[in-house]
Amino acid sequence: MQTALPNTSHNPAIARSRSAAGPGLAGALLVVLTVAACWWLMGEETQRHWEPPSHVYLSAGERHYRVPVARMSSLHDYSQAFIEHSAAQRSAALEPQLERQLDAMFRRVESRLPEFLDWYYSLAGEYSRIGMSAGSVLGVAEGNYVADRAATMLFAQAGWDEGIAQLREKLGSHLSHEEQASRASWLAGLMQQLAPYRVPAPLPSSAGDAPAAGPRLSLDSLQRSLQTSELLAFEERLALSTGGALAGVTVWRASRAGAAVAARGAGRGVGRAGSAAAGAALGCAPGGPWALACALAAGTVAWVAVDWALLRTEEALRRDALEASLRQSLGDFRQQLQLRVMAAVEADIRREHAQWQDTIDREFLPLQGIASRQ
C-alpha cells in the first residue's frame, strides 16, 4: 500500500516562500558581481596610475617642451656645473672693482698724513699727549689718545664712513646685476638644450582636449622661487658681514705705530720739562719778591723754547720714519680689508648658489627618479 504524498502546489504558504526566495538570490548575486567589478576597476586604475610617464612637459614663457624623462638627468648635471662655474666667475669679476674702490678710499686717507704729522710734531700735540699720558696714569683719561686722534684726522675727516657706505652700495649693485645676468645665462643655455623638444602650445581646456599626461615643470615658477628666496639684498648682507668691525680695525692698524711713538714722546717731554725749569731758575736773582715769579716765567719760556727746539730736531730725525711706518700700516690694513670683504662676498655667493643648487635638485631629481623606474 503506497502512501500518497501531500500536494504542495496548492499550498499558499509554500508558494509564497518560493516566490520570495527567487528575487533574494538574484539580488545577492547582483551585489557580488557589482563589488567584483568595482574591485577590478580599482585595480586597473591603480596600475595605470603607477605607470611611469615617458615625457616631462616644461614651459618657459610662451615656449613649451616635451622632454624625454631620461633627458632630465643631463639637464640637471648641466645646471649644477653651470652654477659652480658661475660662482667662480662672479668672484673673479668682483675683485678689480673692489680694488678700485679701496684705492680711492685709501688715497683720501693717505692725503691726511701730512696734517696728522704736523699736529704730532707741534707743541700743541706734544703737550696734549703729555697731559693725556698723565691722565691715563691717574685713571682720568684714556690711554689711546694718539690712536683716537689718528682715527679722527686720518679717517673721519677723510669721509671714511661715507666711503664704506658707497663701497657696500656699489658692490651690492654689482653683485645683484651679476646674479640676474648669471641666471639669465643659465636659462638661455637650458633653452638651447631644450630646443629639439619644443612643441606647440597646448590647446585650451575649453576645446575639449584632455591635457597631455606627464609631470610638468614651469621654469618661470622656478625662476621666481629663486628670486623670492633672497630675503636680504646683497648690499644689506654685505653690510652685516663687514660693517661692524671695519672702523675699529682700521683705526687700530693705522695708528699702531703712532701710538708707540707717542708713548716714547710723552716720557721724553716730562723729563726735559723738569730740566728746562731747573736751568731757567738759575738765571733769576737769588732774592726779592719777584724771584719766584721770575723763576716760573723763565722756566716756562725755557721749557717751551727747549721743547720747540727738541721737537724740531726730533721731527728732522724721525718724521720720515714715522710717516713710512704709518703708510706701511695703512698698506697692511688695506690688504687685510680687501681679504675680509672678498671673504664675506665669496661666502655670500656660495650661500646664494647653494640655495640655487638645492632648488635645482628639488625640481629635477624627482624626475630623474621617474626615469630610473622605467
Q: What is the DSSP annotation of 313-369?
A: HHHHHHHHHHHHHHHHHHHHHHHHHHHHHHHHHHHHHHHHHHHHHHHHHHHHHHHHH
Sign of CA dihedral 184, 187, 191, 192: positive
Res. 69: pLDDT tops 80: yes
The dihedrals phi and psi of 373, each to the nearest 5 degrees, come to: -90, -5
* Average pLDDT score over residue span 161-171: 83
Residue whose C-alpha is closest to residue 186's, from 89, 278, 273, 275: 89
* 325 CB neighbour count, 10 Å cutoff: 16
The 10s digit of each residue's pLDDT in 126-141 is 767 776 655 454 444 4
H-run or E-run covering 55 = strand 55-60
Res. 49: pLDDT tops 50: no
Q: What is the pLDDT of residue 224?
A: 78
Q: What is the pLDDT of residue 39?
A: 64
Q: What is the pLDDT of residue 266?
A: 45
Res. 296: pLDDT tops 60: no
Compute the distance between CA of residue 273 and CA of residue 289 in angstroms, rounded to an integer: 24
The 10s digit of each residue's pLDDT in 299-344 is 555 566 666 777 778 878 888 888 888 888 888 888 888 888 888 8
How remote is the C-alpha of 261 from its chain's centroid? 39
Q: What is the pLDDT of residue 52?
A: 59
H-run or E-run covering 60 = strand 55-60
* Average pLDDT score over residue span 341-358: 85
* Radius of gyration of the chain from its Cα atoms, rounded to whole angstroms: 45
Res. 199: pLDDT tops 80: yes
Burial of 276 (0-12, 13-18, 19+ CB in 10 A): buried
Q: Looking at the domain assignment, is residue 361 inside a domain? A: yes
Q: What is the pLDDT of residue 286?
A: 55
Edge-to-edge strand ranges of the sheet holding 198-199: 198-199, 63-68, 55-60, 216-218
Res. 351: pLDDT tops 90: no
Whole-number mean pLDDT of the chain? 71
Res. 374: pLDDT tops 70: no
Q: Looking at the domain assignment, is residue 66 inside a domain? A: yes
Res. 167: pLDDT tops 70: yes
Q: Looking at the domain assignment, is residue 6 inside a domain? A: no
Res. 270: pLDDT tops 50: no
Higher pLDDT, 132 or 100: 100
Q: Looking at the domain assignment, is residue 17 inside a domain? A: no
Compute the distance between CA of residue 71 and CA of residue 199 in angstroms, rounded to an integer: 16
Q: What is the pLDDT of residue 114?
A: 93
Compute the distance between CA of residue 79 and CA of residue 356 in angstroms, rounded to an integer: 10
Model confidence band, residue 164 (pLDDT cutoffs 50, 70, 90):
confident
Q: What is the pLDDT of residue 263?
A: 46
Amino acid identity, position 121: Y
Q: What is the pLDDT of residue 245?
A: 36
What are the beta bridge partners of residue 55?
Answer: 68
Res. 205: pLDDT tops 60: no
Which residue's entry shows cell 545577492?
A: 28
Q: What is the pLDDT of residue 115?
A: 92
Q: What is the tally of structural domains in the chain?
A: 1
Q: Looking at the domain assignment, is residue 294 inside a domain? A: yes
What domain range includes position 62? 53-200+216-372
Higher pLDDT, 41 or 61: 61
Q: Give start and end residues of each alpha helix (H) in the chain.
A: 12-49, 72-110, 113-120, 123-138, 145-150, 160-194, 219-228, 234-281, 291-372
Q: What is the pLDDT of residue 207?
A: 44
The C-alpha angle with vertex 300 and arms to 295 and 302, in degrees rounded to 5, equals 90
Model confidence band, residue 108 (pLDDT cutoffs 50, 70, 90):
very high
Model confidence band, residue 194 (pLDDT cutoffs 50, 70, 90):
very high
Q: What is the pTM of this model?
A: 0.64
Higher pLDDT, 217 or 7: 217
Q: Looking at the domain assignment, is residue 45 inside a domain? A: no
Q: Looking at the domain assignment, is residue 24 inside a domain? A: no
Q: What is the pLDDT of residue 189?
A: 93
Q: What is the pLDDT of residue 329?
A: 83
Q: Looking at the domain assignment, is residue 264 inside a domain? A: yes
